[in-house]
Structure 1
């Protein structure tokens, strides 16, 4: 089953926000930055970036198909 880039992008954005929330909670619990927190922020960055890129690709693809 193929999913649209919009659906996949929204899932990635939600995961990025979830990893960011967990990292913030981890910083507050440990009173600082640890290796696990840095790892969570790196994963969140990749997820948010990929999600935004997929959402943008969806609208670009939709616009190009509409203009044909």
Structure 2
């Protein structure tokens, strides 16, 4: 059984939001950008980009005319 790109995309978007929150909290607690803040930002960027790509892929396949 395969997962739909929409569900996987939403999961990646939520993970990106979580990593963004963790990065903001890390900077607020430490007062500066450390290693983990940059790591969380990198992970959030990759997850949000992948999530957007998967959601667009879902709608592209959904609107594709069937033969």
TM-score (normalised: structure 2): 0.96
Alignment partner of 1:11 is 2:6: no
- Structure 1, unmatched stretches of 5+, are none
> In the alignment, what sits opposite 1:51?
51
Moved over 3 A (4+): none
Q: In structure 1, what is the Cα distance between the partners aligned to 2:23 and 2:40?
A: 6
RMSD: 0.6
The normalised TM-score by structure 1 is 0.94
Which has a greater percent of helix? 1
**What stretches of structure 2 of length at least 5 have no aligned partner?**
none
Aligned residues: 66
Q: Quote the offset at 1:43 in angstroms.
A: 0.4
Deviation at 1:5, TM superposition (A): 0.1
